[in-house]
Amino acid sequence: MTTPFPFTAVVGQDDLRLALLLNAVSPAVGGVLVRGEKGTAKSTAVRALSALLPEVAVVPGCRFSCDPAAPDPACPDGPHEPGSGAGRPARMVELPVGASEDRLVGALDIERALAEGVKAFEPGLLADAHRGILYVDEVNLLHDHLVDLLLDAAAMGASYVEREGVSVRHAARFLLVGTMNPEEGELRPQLLDRFGLTVEVAASREPDQRVEVVKRRLAYDADPAGFAARWATEEAAVRQRIAAARELLPQVRLGDGALRQIAATCAAFEVDGMRADIVMARTATALAAWAGRTDVLAEDVRQAALLALPHRRRRNPFDAPGLDEDKLDETLEQTSGENEGEDDPDPDGPGGGGGGPRPDAGPQGGGDTSARPESGEDGEPQATGAGEQSAARASEPFRTKALSVPGIGEGAAGRRSRARTEHGRTTGARRPRGTLTKLHLAATVQAAAPHQRARGRSGPGLVIRRDDLRQATREGREGNLVLFVVDASGSMAARQRMSAVKGAVLSLLLDAYQRRDKVGLVSFRGAAAEVALPPTSSVDAAAARLESLPTGGRTPLAAGLLKAHEVLRVERLRDPARRALVVVVTDGRATGGPEPVALAGRAARLFAAEGVASVVVDCESGPVRLGLAGQLAGELGGTAVTLDELRADSIAGLVRDVQGTSRRAA
């Protein structure tokens, strides 16, 4: 077995190590989500933690790791008689991003269940992870329904597999750890809330610390066993401290004063629901146990807030992570009087000893955002150079009308366009291609019924064979590639239009986040077009690029369309199942390059010929309008909406779905 990198040899990352250790002490905390850039020891720390967990005793031969002292009475391999068992190391099970539902929860043989009445069940990763660690790298790229399944199992401590009335249940209690790079896309707020703690990690900017990271990594790569041996004493100390904290945990007292501080903190930061209060209480209790105390102190509550609240107060992907620590301290100070005489602060703090991180280490960052360029007194952006103006500030985002791609796709699960998916309403049946996942019972019975006499069946019941099985076809929603093509020319900057334009695109980006789309951004101005952001799942990255987008110069509309066409061509090679929706934000003018109008028309007709769904957001304003955006929409084979019509609460027109070419749809 590969020797893991020692947990205590990880340089820095105090918050990450503390959050993992608190979950090791008290799995009821609910797991941890680790957010950070690539190369910040996220995976290394998680894999190292498994070596610190105490051994678990299991019933010999049980595939579900039942505890011999108190075996699960509903274990599919049971029933087991209480008694002694064999010890084994705690497992760390990794869930691949591309895993199927059957691989996660287990597979039930429907054919044998229907024909023989036998519950033939093959355990999945949830069973393997029971009483250990379930690690999901790049959890933000995992399909939503898989995230729902594993989070439900983590919350209930059990996994249920049901296929057409045949069900299997088994225990599934594990430490859930997810890691993600925010640049690759965010998790939905509902899913973020299901993780107990969250930690933001970043590479150190201190040269000495970076040097130490490199030294240790090179030493480990050269001799993993020898490097681990040099850290064996520190590892043993932390292992013993985890075991001691687990034994002490039931004795820790969470007083009314600490509970009031927890409630006041959650209320002050306007956290939805009650899960945050419960997680903070469990975290503060685990912090006290980790420090070797039986009383929860104010510093435990403060540290618990820094770990449990940042991801619960984000309302959309454009909100900065982190907590206002001054506000946190003020809230705790206001409620500290109720704790007087009840909690005696420990002058040494809850940290110290054992080789573990200090619990009072606050998160990095703090949630500050960089200032945006200011506009002039008249509202127009200040000029920064010849033919170029500084970036305009976006107006407030709003809820947009629903835009979708026509037809039925087969792309990644999402919430925008109709698609054939594994989850959704049943629309028909077909023969299974590979493993049967969703049985269409009526179609299966209908297929088997005509053959019963030939199969020797004359009485009640059916003889069902594999050829009779029918897979249910389902229709749900898919996520699309929403490619924004934004006119940033001088005409768009006139009359303060760019602020409204950016506000509209920001609104569409927020809509794309909620619908699980990929997004890309192409801008054109002056003499050329550029890919401001290649297609990505990170809509906050797109928002940042949009915010800094400068304006000025002529309008090379054709160049913008051709650049977008090239982006789509490359993206089709990477992800052919994901359909595209092109959103052109312009007033329709074309003034850049030779024969700008004719060339723009030819470029637009490329999209129409390929049946690419498109919409033109008409940014033209003023009493006299040329209607050029509408003409462009016709050549694209799409439709045009004004900025006012884009609003979901607009009464200017009915909700408009994006129309592809009518010739292709026919």
Catalytic residues: 275
- Sign, Cα dihedral of 190, 194, 196, 200: negative
Query: What are the b/e assignments for 525-544, b being 16+ CB within 10 Å?
Result: bbeebebbbebbbbbbbbbe
Q: Element (H or E) spanning 111, and its range?
A: helix 110-116
For 543, the token pair is 């928002």
How many Å apart are CA 573 and CA 571, to the nearest integer? 5
Residues 330 and 361 sit within 8 Å (Cβ to Cβ): no
- Sign, Cα dihedral of 334, 339, 344, 346: negative
585 pairs with which residues across the strands? 486, 617
Of 197, 163, 161, 202, which is closest to residue 181 (Cα–Cα)?
202
Long-range contacts of 563-567 (CB under 8 A, 24+ apart): 563/485, 563/522, 563/524, 563/529, 563/530, 563/531, 564/483, 564/485, 564/522, 564/529, 565/603, 565/606, 565/607, 567/483, 567/520, 567/522, 567/531, 567/534, 567/535
* Number of other CB atoms surrounding residue 106 within 10 Å: 23
124 pairs with which residues across the strands? none
Helix (H) and strand (E) counts in the chain: 22, 22
Given the structure tokens 């201190």, which residue do they identify?
A: 206
Amino acid (1-letter code) at residue 160: Y
Cα–Cα separations (whole angstroms), residue 316 to 98, 438, 510:
26, 34, 7
β-strand pairing of 471-478 with 425-430: antiparallel
Rounded (10°) CA dihedral 256, 258, 260, 263: -130
Backbone angles phi, psi at 74, to 5 degrees: -100, 15
* Number of other CB atoms surrounding residue 341 within 10 Å: 8
Cα–Cα separations (whole angstroms), residue 293 to 296, 645, 656:
8, 61, 62
For 30, the token pair is 């609910």
**Any idea what DSSP says for residue 29?**
G
How many Å apart are CA 650 and CA 584, to the nearest integer? 20
Of 511, 420, 510, which is closest to residue 473 (Cα–Cα)?
420
Cα–Cα separations (whole angstroms), residue 97 to 178, 188, 198, 409:
11, 17, 20, 21
Q: CA angle, 522 as apex, 517 and 525 as ends, to 5°?
A: 155
Amino acid (1-letter code) at residue 90: A
* Number of other CB atoms surrounding residue 344 within 10 Å: 10
581 pairs with which residues across the strands? 482, 613
